[in-house]
């Protein structure tokens, strides 16, 4: 009886992973591409307002991590066996890179884009910006000539 419950639990977990992991991969890929494109295009057309969405850079690591999950699931699904030791080591190495990207990319990419936006003549707008836990959406508006704006800096 215990072995049957364990088998049912494992197949249910595998089925959920087969559904959830590709959804995470696809949604992260679509959302991060769209927000990054929005940021780059607003920089190119000198928009009145530029939004730097740091969630974009967190999603880059989700793409890598969920991509590894898809690879492992697909291998097991089609080959009917788990990954060989050499491939598992490679997947673990890539997962560690994904975690490192999760930790460092949002901070450094955020700093890069903040300095780029400020060099273009934009000022950080605290009222329109948003933060929830680690998710940050920084809004910068174009500085109008002749206006006295008190400059505030986004905290990293």
The domain ranges of the chain are 2-142
What is the average per-residue pLDDT within 131-145? 83
Q: 71 exposed, middle or buried (CB, 10 Å; 0-12, 13-18, 19+)?
A: middle
User: pLDDT tens-digit profile of 53-111?
Assistant: 988 889 989 999 999 999 998 888 888 888 899 999 999 999 999 999 999 998 999 99
Residue 150 has pLDDT above 80, yes or no: no
Between residues 151 and 61, which one has the greater pLDDT? 61
User: How, if at all, do strands 130-132 and 49-53 pair?
Assistant: unpaired
Provide the pLDDT for residue 92: 95
Residue located via tokens 């994904």: 98
- CB within 8 Å of 61: residues ≥ 6 apart: 98, 99, 101, 102, 105
Could you write out the three-class secondary structure of 81-96?
CCCCHHHHHHHHHHHH
List pLDDT tens digits, range 5-19.
767 777 777 788 888
The model's pTM is: 0.73
pLDDT > 90 in the chain, percent? 42
């Amino acid at each position: 009886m215990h072995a049957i419950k364990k088998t049912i639990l494992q197949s249910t977990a595998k089925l959920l992973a087969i559904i959830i992991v590709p959804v995470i991969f696809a949604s992260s890929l679509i959302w991060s591409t769209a927000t990054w494109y929005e940021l780059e295009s607003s920089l190119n057309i000198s928009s009145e307002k530029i939004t730097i969405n740091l969630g974009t850079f967190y999603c880059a690591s989700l793409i890598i991590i969920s991509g590894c999950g898809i690879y492992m699931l697909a291998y097991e699904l089609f080959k009917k066996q788990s990954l060989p030791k050499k491939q598992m080591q490679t997947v673990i190495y890539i997962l560690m890179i994904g975690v490192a990207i999760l930790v460092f990319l949002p901070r450094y990419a955020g700093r890069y884009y903040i300095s780029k936006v400020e060099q273009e003549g934009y000022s950080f707008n605290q009222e329109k910006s948003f933060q929830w836990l680690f998710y940050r959406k920084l809004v910068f508006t174009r500085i109008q000539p002749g206006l006295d704006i008190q400059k505030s800096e986004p905290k990293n």
